[in-house]
Amino acid sequence: MIQNQKKKQYLIRPNTYRQARSIRPTINIHTSVPLYLSETAPYKFRGALNIGFQLSITVGILIANVLNYFFAKIDGGWGWRLSLGGAIVPAIILTVGSLFLPDTPNSLIERGNMEDAREKLKRIRGLENVDEEFNDLVIASELSKQVEHPWRNLLQRKYRPHIAVATLIPFFQQFTGINVIMFYAPVLFNTIGFGDDASLMSSVITGLVNVIATLVSIYGVDKWGRRFLFLEGGTQMLICQIIVAACIGAKFGIDGHPGDLPKWYAIVVVLFICIYVAAFAWSWGPLGWLVPSEVFPLEIRSAAQSINVSVNMVFTFVVAQVFLNMLCHLKFGLFLFFAFFVVVMTIYVYYFLPETKNIPIEEMNQVWRSHWFWAKFMTEEFSNGNVEMLKGGQALKNV
């Protein structure tokens, strides 16, 4: 019975997921919102404010899952209609709210509206004296105007560190195995005794864990740093994936047929799934969007962020498409497959990703120039150009 239920859920849930992803207008939002937040937030609080975007997403997911749980009980075919139609509410709020958002000072400077930019900067900082930061923004704008073709310039050697972040971070984010955990959870919740509502109930529980853990990230990202959360989250996910794989393999066997699965055993597995979701939610979940949005210089920022979002969406689609086939062939080994990538991405963060905490976004190139590996890609011409421009404004802070 459990095996039959598992097959039904695996057939329904991934396909529903793919259909939902295909109609979600996320690309423009994920491209523009992180950049907007990075450009408007004070650098000391940039991480927390940017992760507010991820928190809003997780809260929205939780609300949608709770509503779906109750909509599923409505007869007459109205449940799914309400579920899909309800998306118009946040869409209206987003559309109307965007009309009242101020332009970023960076955008106004790019268009030559210097006085408006200064006033906007005073407004969002709550200060009268913003000359130091304003000069930095003007300098960054002047540097960006020297670049006529941002897409072509992305191929230049000096932007290798930025391209690495724009491609590897979203790739690794999808290969944490978070979707595998989400797909597999309904079977375990069904075993515990949630019955036919296992899929929806598991979404509510994991969604709640997701929200709470994202709050932890908001608290710690500007206090503990990005690297700490990446490394701690990666280690925690790795341990949980190995434990879940061992538990599933011990009881379900290599052929995938379940044995006698006591309720306490399933509870232990579900507990580690929730711990895994928490690790993702305070590390690779929000930081996968935050870090790329704050490391790109202004001259390539839009183009690089577009690549970041595109890579994320492509591999989200790929993982959803191949999930069923991989599950059939690898069984519990699927968890170990993604655990391997967690090891790789944790090593990448440890050796190749610099800390960006408390660093103004206009001074991020100094971080790359001081990195043991990426410094060799930052050409002398590029470095001298930045230094000369900075002579007219604020000197680089000690990072």
Pick from 40-44, 100-104, 222-226: least confident: 40-44
d(CA 88, CA 313): 22
- Say if residue 276's pLDDT is above 90: yes
342: tokens are: 């967690």
**Domain, as residue range, for 31:** 2-390
Residue 321: pLDDT band by 50, 70, 90 thresholds?
confident
Q: Is 253 left (phi over 0), alpha (psi -120 to 50) or beta?
A: left
**What's the average model confidence in pLDDT over 221-231?**
94
In the chain, the largest separation of any two C-alpha atoms, in whole Å, equals: 73
In this predicted structure, the answer to whether residue 98 has a pLDDT above a threshold of 60 is yes
Contact of 229 with 346, CB cutoff 8 Å:
no
Residue 280's pLDDT is what? 96
Q: Give the contacts of 229 (CB within 8 A, at least 6 positions apart).
A: 217, 220, 221, 282, 283, 287
Taking each continuous run of H as one helix and of E as one strand, the counts in the chain are 19, 0
What's the structural domain count of the chain?
1
User: pLDDT tier at 232 (50, 70, 90 boundaries)?
Assistant: very high
The one-letter amino acid code at 329 reads H
* DSSP H or E run through 285: helix 284-295
The tokens for 68 are 């779906």
pLDDT band of residue 28 (cuts 50, 70, 90) is low
Which stretches of 221-262 are DSSP H helices? Answer: 226-252
Distance of CA 224 to the CA centre of its chain: 18
- Mean pLDDT for 294-304 is 83
pLDDT value, residue 193: 57
What pLDDT does 391 receive?
A: 39
396 lies in some domain: no
| Spatial contact of 368 and 375, defined as CB atoms under 8 Å apart | yes
150 or 279, which is more confident?
279
pLDDT at 33 over 60: yes
In the chain, pLDDT over 70 holds for what percent of residues? 81
Rounded to 10 deg, the angle between the 284-295 and 301-330 helix axes is 150
Is 217's pLDDT higher than 90? yes
Q: How far is residue 284 CA from its own chain's centroid? A: 6
What integer best gives the mean pLDDT of the chain?
80
Q: CA 193 to CA 293: how far, in whole Å? A: 43
In a domain, 95, yes or no: yes
pLDDT at 377 over 80: yes
Max mean pLDDT range (5-14, 87-96, 247-256): 87-96
Among 178-192, 308-322, 383-397, the minimum mean pLDDT is found in: 383-397
Under 8 Å between Cβ of 235 and 312? no
Alpha carbons 46 and 201: distance in angstroms, whole number? 34
Q: What is the pLDDT of residue 237?
A: 96
Domain containing residue 36: CATH number: 1.20.1250.20
Q: Is 338 a domain residue? A: yes
pLDDT at 354 over 90: yes
In a domain, 89, yes or no: yes
**pLDDT confidence of residue 346:** 97
Other C-beta atoms closer than 10 Å to the C-beta of 259 total: 9
Three-state SS at 224: coil
Percentage of the chain lying above the pLDDT 90 cut: 26
pLDDT of residue 38: 78
Answer whether residue 399 is part of any domain: no
pLDDT digits (tens, 9 = 90+) for 164-215: 999 999 999 999 988 777 766 676 676 655 666 776 777 788 889 999 999 9
- Look at residue 213 and tell me if it is in a domain: yes
- Does the global pTM surpass 0.85? no
Question: Cβ distance 66 to 211 under 8 Å?
Answer: no
Cα–Cα distance measured from residue 252 to residue 383, given in angstroms and rounded to the nearest whole number:
58
- What are the φ and ψ backbone dihedral angles of 177, each rounded to 5 degrees? 90, 15
Residue 398 placed within a domain? no
- At residue 34, the pLDDT reads 78
